[in-house]
Structure 1
Amino acid sequence: MQQPSNASPTLRFPAAALGYLPGLALSAALALAAIWLAQSPVFTERGLSALTLALVMGLLVGNTVYPRLAPSSHAGVGFAKQRLLRAGIVLYGLRLTFQDIGHLGWSGVMIDALVLGSTFAMALWLGRKVLGLDARTSILIGAGSSICGAAAVLATAPVVKGRPQDIAVAVATVVVFGTVATFVYPALFHWNAAHALVNLSPTQFGLYIGSTVHEVAQVVAAGEAISPQTADMAVIAKMVRVMMLAPFLLLLSAWWARKNAKGTTDSQPAPISIPWFALGFVVVAGVNSLDLLPRSLVQFGVQLDNLLLAVAMAALGLSTHISAVRAAGTRPLLLALVLFGWLLGAGLLLNLLLSPV
């Protein structure tokens, strides 16, 4: 009589693992298709990354055929957009080294920090106080605009417990205005070169691009449209800005815990939830800075990271209903538009004042 009870624990784990497979397989298939499409010149020239395409493809499938597949795929999709996402953020550190700071200089680091801080502060104030958006939406849009686009949105969402529709809206704003940036910045450079309104060399303009454009892919696209020197500096500035993601998440976690504690009657302060993936991100970047890892291993890690983040984005799209995104209205887009204007204007002013000659 006791035998079935004793055997069940050994059977439970394989059964649970098999339950993840349908959703993981669907998310992975969409991610691989997005990675393949992202290599096409049609998308690379417009700065549309595999993450963006994976989200779009996930949204298309999620709002058409996925409702019929959801009963069997829900567990795997949830695993992808939570666990695989955090693993992807940790591996993102393989793209960075602390030596990048030396290439940029302290003035460049200061520009990145001021752009990040001012843009995020504006998102919080404008989103909550003026536009009446909830705190989570304002935070996610602010993180995407001020740090590194979709990756920052995904990394910030677990800290503030963002809903799938909040994440999708924030990523959509990054896609819209980041894509616009890939055309606007090269046009601004050539227009300024023709009229000599401000004194910014191609390298300094690269710092301007890297410190203000949303996605890494969009930074590359905008920089390469001007010159190789512009692209190189833009990528370095962007990577240093990405490196600021970890301290940003730690500070945000502390602020969020304190903010939520104010609404409770408990006299004890709410514990600060330190996002382990943010610490992992810093550790991986630090190890990569020591140049101890074989280049082949680092390249493999970056490719694996691309896959993990694309799978997470596809899973996010699968679990997001367009009706929920539409319900957000035009206010999130308006917030992102104002932030885009701030990045263009205030970012240019900061670069003119602080950029090294």
Structure 2
Amino acid sequence: MNSLATPVASGSAPANQTRGQLNGILFVALFAAAVTQLSALPFIANLGLSPLIVGIVAGAIYGNALRDGMPESWASGINFSARKLLRIAVGFFGLRVSLQEIAQVGLPGLTVSVLVVVSTLAIGTWAGMKLMKLDRDTALLTAAGSAICGAAAVLAFESTLQSEPHKSAMAVGSVVLFGTLSMFLYPLVVHLGWLHLDTLGVGLFFGGTIHEVAQVVGAASNVSPEATHIATIVKMTRVMLLVPVLLVIGMWVNRARNNGLTDDSGTTGTKGKLAIPWFALGFLALVIVNSLHVLPAPATHTLNTLDTFALTMAMTALGIETRIAQIRQAGPRALMTGAIVYAWLIGGGLAITFGVERLLG
């Protein structure tokens, strides 16, 4: 009888694991649905806080205060949402960008985007590692969130670097703080006449230096519809740069590993395959699909809505996996890195905007 019982027990283990993973994914989906409703409340929406940001905050609160009540078998579902679902969702983010829109702002928009992204990544990484003594991943995540597209960039870099969740949480915190500040500060200085920029200049500056897409739209809409249109396109041009930047970062990380350099955990890297972020190539493919207008507009809208929900699930799962004690260790230094990057975005971004508009505008 025992010999018959053993196969049943061993066969039920994988089934229980699968059931636990599905329950974990369902839990994250329900959590993300609640977060989506919460982020739609007027006082949150008016702050430009996307469901992604609300999701990581709410997830972190749950993960640190209530996670003990969650079955351990659900952990694999949480991890799936924070890793594999994340890659798929970042890939589908490409349906929000089209080559035609980017062409509308032409060479000035592309030049501002490239200069801001490259300089911000370099300065943010250098300031984080050399001045603030942060580990490589935290410095890169903080710089990427500011340089490219806020929380979505943090998610994409987190997937490529395979870093720990609390490092992503710190980077997103920087996006929330300084991106929200920009929504109020940028329109104010324009209305006070402190920025001597025309409509094109305002669009280039707002779209080239504000963190999140929603924050760009929120800030520019307080200036003019024309500035909002230009700023949004410039911002989406920065989003497009996510693909080449991730490919370069993947090659850099792989070379450091192959050269046996010490990573941020203090262990020596081992030789491995090239860390190509395939989801970034999927992102680029879907940009092309969107540019060719292969999909009907309602289908694209539906896919974008589902993609936002999937990204919210990923952010919520990352929040659940985040531990406040880990954030405390590097919190002030990560925040200072974000402040340094923000100062560069304002000062350096203005200089880049003035220069590009004078030469190419």
Q: Normalising by structure 1, what TM-score?
A: 0.93
Report matched runs for 1:44-83 at 5 Å.
44-83=45-84
Contact 2:137 2:163 in 1 (8 A): yes
Alignment counterpart, residue 294 of structure 1, candidates 293, 296, 299: 296
Give the Cα–Cα distance (whole angstroms) in 2 for the partners of residues 269 and 71 of structure 1. Answer: 33
Matched with 2:216 is: 219
Amino acid across the alignment from 1:263 = G
Matched with 1:340 is: 342
- Where does structure 1 differ by over 4 angstroms across 4 or more consecutive aligned residues? 1-14
Matched with 2:229 is: 232
Alignment counterpart, residue 206 of structure 1, candidates 190, 203, 207: 203
Alignment counterpart, residue 313 of structure 1, candidates 299, 315, 323: 315
- 1:249-273 CA-partner distances (Å, limit 9, x unpaired): 000000111122222699x975321
Report matched runs for 1:13-24 at 5 Å.
14-24=15-25
Contact 1:206 1:234 in 2 (8 A): yes
User: The residue matched to 2:192 in structure 1 has which SS?
Assistant: helix
Report matched runs for 1:111-126 at 5 Å.
111-126=112-127
Report matched runs for 1:188-203 at 5 Å.
188-192=189-193, 198-203=195-200
Report matched runs for 1:131-146 at 5 Å.
131-146=132-147
Amino acid across the alignment from 2:225 = P
Matched with 1:271 is: 273
- 1:94-141 CA-partner distances (Å, limit 9, x unpaired): 101111221111121011000000000001211111211111111100
Contact 2:260 2:271 in 1 (8 A): no
Contact 1:44 1:221 in 2 (8 A): no
Give the Cα–Cα distance (whole angstroms) in 1 for the partners of residues 14 and 291 of structure 2. Answer: 38
Report matched runs for 1:21-40 at 5 Å.
21-40=22-41
Q: Normalising by structure 2, what TM-score?
A: 0.92
Report matched runs for 1:93-104 at 5 Å.
93-104=94-105
- 1:273-305 CA-partner distances (Å, limit 9, x unpaired): 111111111111111111011112111110110
Give the Cα–Cα distance (whole angstroms) in 2 for the partners of residues 213 and 235 of structure 1. Answer: 10
Matched with 1:242 is: 239
Amino acid across the alignment from 1:333 = L
User: The residue matched to 1:136 in structure 2 has which SS?
Assistant: helix
Deviation, 1:72, is 3.3
Deviation, 1:221, is 0.8
Contact 2:170 2:331 in 1 (8 A): no
Percent identical residues = 37
User: The residue matched to 1:99 in structure 2 has which SS?
Assistant: helix
* 1:150 and 2:151 aligned: yes
Matched with 1:329 is: 331
Contact 1:146 1:214 in 2 (8 A): yes
Amino acid across the alignment from 1:25 = L
Amino acid across the alignment from 2:338 = A
Give the Cα–Cα distance (whole angstroms) in 2 for the partners of residues 8 and 278 of structure 1. Answer: 42
Amino acid across the alignment from 1:201 = D
What is the aligned-residue RMSD (CA, Å)?
2.2
* 1:86 and 2:87 aligned: yes
Contact 1:97 1:289 in 2 (8 A): yes
- Residues 70 and 117 of structure 1: is their aligned pair in 2 closer, same or farther, counting only changes over 3 Å? farther
Give the Cα–Cα distance (whole angstroms) in 1 for the partners of residues 221 and 32 of structure 2. Answer: 26
5+ residue gaps, structure 1, are none
Matched with 2:265 is: none
Matched with 2:109 is: 108
Give the Cα–Cα distance (whole angstroms) in 2 for the partners of residues 142 and 299 of structure 1. Answer: 30
User: The residue matched to 2:70 in structure 1 has which SS?
Assistant: helix
- 1:161-209 CA-partner distances (Å, limit 9, x unpaired): 21011111111111111111111111111122xxxx5531233202211
Matched with 2:251 is: 254
Deviation, 1:339, is 0.4
Give the Cα–Cα distance (whole angstroms) in 1 for the partners of residues 105 and 14 of structure 2. Answer: 49
Amino acid across the alignment from 1:211 = G
Amino acid across the alignment from 1:202 = T
